[in-house]
Amino acid sequence: MEPLLLDGNRVATEVKDSLREKVISLKETGITPCLATVLVGDDSSSATYVKMKGNACAKIGMESRKIHLPKETTTSELLEIINELNEDSTVHGILLQHPVPHQIDERAAFEAISIEKDVDGVTSLGFGQNSLGFGEYPSCTPAAIMSIIDYYNVSLEGKHAVVVGRSPILGKPVSMMLLNRNATVTTCHSYTENLKDILSQADIVVAAVGKPRFIQGDWLKEGAVVLDAGYNKGNVGDIDYEACYEKASAITPVPGGVGPVTISMLLKQTVDSAEKYGVSIQNS
């Protein structure tokens, strides 16, 4: 029996369709949801990502404000820009494009983003709130994974979820989100021993390791649900898709799986911020 294809494009389309209606309603009250993207330097991939996010904003009627700083920018100069955006009541979300040039203290820059505008879920405060179960804006890729799970009614309660990867904006937060939904969670990483044995026990697998075709089909339990958050050169994810397809009961494709939903979560969280904080500022 073929696995259920967890179609991220379908999920993202429905999210964006609902957001268009919210944006229209907000504009009628004088509020246009605005995402400010800050790009430091001339990394071509980063510039492409920023352009994609700007286009996505335009398609649902949001404003995208792009701030492009030279590669020589210092930490203090970047912090000044972020603080200006924090103070700007017409900006509802701030995204600092990763990576930044080596001379910048990236963590200090992330921490400078106001929690009300941390729609990309990069601050330690946002991570802590999300881990405790009341964060408003989780990191967007984990939020996308959970949205796909909810859309397709994937059961989590009591299931063994194995997350392969522990990055602060993907592996760690999605582990916490799954745990908060009553899954039993194992988080694996580059030092994990017997990874194959651990994965063979997983009901749900989240691949977030950043290595192309890393997870093999014969590592999986028959009927596992596989969510591939990787995107590598050659349009391949972190799993060996063909081999994992044979074992899975449900699986995300790459491309067209987690990626499109990640962008829609960024838009959603910016619109949510405009709806909550923009309206309150306007009424104060």
pLDDT of residue 10: 98
Reading the block at residue 192, the tokens are 């994990």
CB 99 within 8 A of CB 93: no
Q: What is the pLDDT of residue 277?
A: 80
- Burial of 64 from C-beta contacts in 10 A (0-12 / 13-18 / 19+): buried
Q: How many other CB atoms are found less than 10 A from the CB of residue 156?
A: 21
Place of tokens 């910048």: 104
pLDDT given for residue 279 in this prediction: 62
Could you list the active site residues?
A: 53, 97, 120
What's the rounded Cα separation, in Å, for the pair 119 and 281?
Answer: 18
- The alpha carbon torsion through 16, 22, 26, 31 (nearest 10 deg) reads -20
Residue 1: per-residue pLDDT: 81
CATH homologous superfamily of domain 30-114? Leucine Dehydrogenase, chain A, domain 1 (3.40.50.10860)
Output the pLDDT for position 208: 96
Q: Which two tokens stand for residue 60?
A: 């649902």
Same fold, 30-114 and 140-259: yes
In terms of DSSP H, where are the helices of the chain? 8-28, 44-59, 75-87, 106-112, 124-132, 140-151, 171-180, 195-199, 241-247, 258-273, 279-283
Q: Which stretches of the chain score pLDDT less than 50? A: none
Q: Tokens representing 266?
A: 């960024």
For 256-272, the pLDDT digits (tens) are 999 999 999 999 999 99
Which of 173, 83, 67 has its CA nearest to residue 120? 173
CA distance 178 to 131: 10
Is the pTM higher than 0.75? yes
- Report which residue type is found at 238: D
Q: Which of 206, 200, 213, 149 is nearest to 4 (CA)?
A: 149
Q: What is the pLDDT of residue 280?
A: 61
Q: For residue 90, what pLDDT is reported?
A: 96
Residue pair 255/119 in contact (Cβ under 8 Å)? The answer is no
Q: Where are the domains of the chain?
A: 30-114, 140-259
- Does domain 140-259 sit in CATH 3.40.640.10? no
